[in-house]
Amino acid sequence: MKSLVFAAILVSFGAVVICQSHNYFWGYKGPYDVKTLDLVYPLKGQLGRNISAINITDQYINGKGGYASLLAGGIGYNHTTIHLKSQRGNGFSFIVEIYGR
């Protein structure tokens, strides 16, 4: 019986070790901070297609969503850089679709 309990504990410990995530956070997130992200297409090492359309959909429909701006490239180019920014104190959730030929 003791060996069965010991085996169950070992299996449980193994499951905990295997399922551990590796999240990190440094600093302090204040109520007036903003979240930003620069989205680059194509990824490094990939060939880009000639971009024919870019569709960015804000998933926050309560007026607290973020903003998107085109920093480089875009329609007619084979690359683009899109800057995504939240409103102060909020996050963002966008669906970004890039169409090309």
Please state the pTM of the whole predicted model. Answer: 0.71
Nearest to 81 by CA among 72, 69, 90: 72
Query: What are 6-65's pLDDT values in tens digits?
Result: 656 656 655 555 667 788 888 888 889 999 999 999 999 888 899 999 999 999 988 889
pLDDT given at position 25: 85
Where do the domains of the chain lie? 2-100
For 62, which DSSP code?
S
Kindly tell me if the per-residue pLDDT of 96 is higher than 70: yes
Helix intervals (H) in 19-96: none
Kindly tell me if the per-residue pLDDT of 95 is higher than 60: yes
pLDDT given at position 72: 96
pLDDT given at position 28: 86
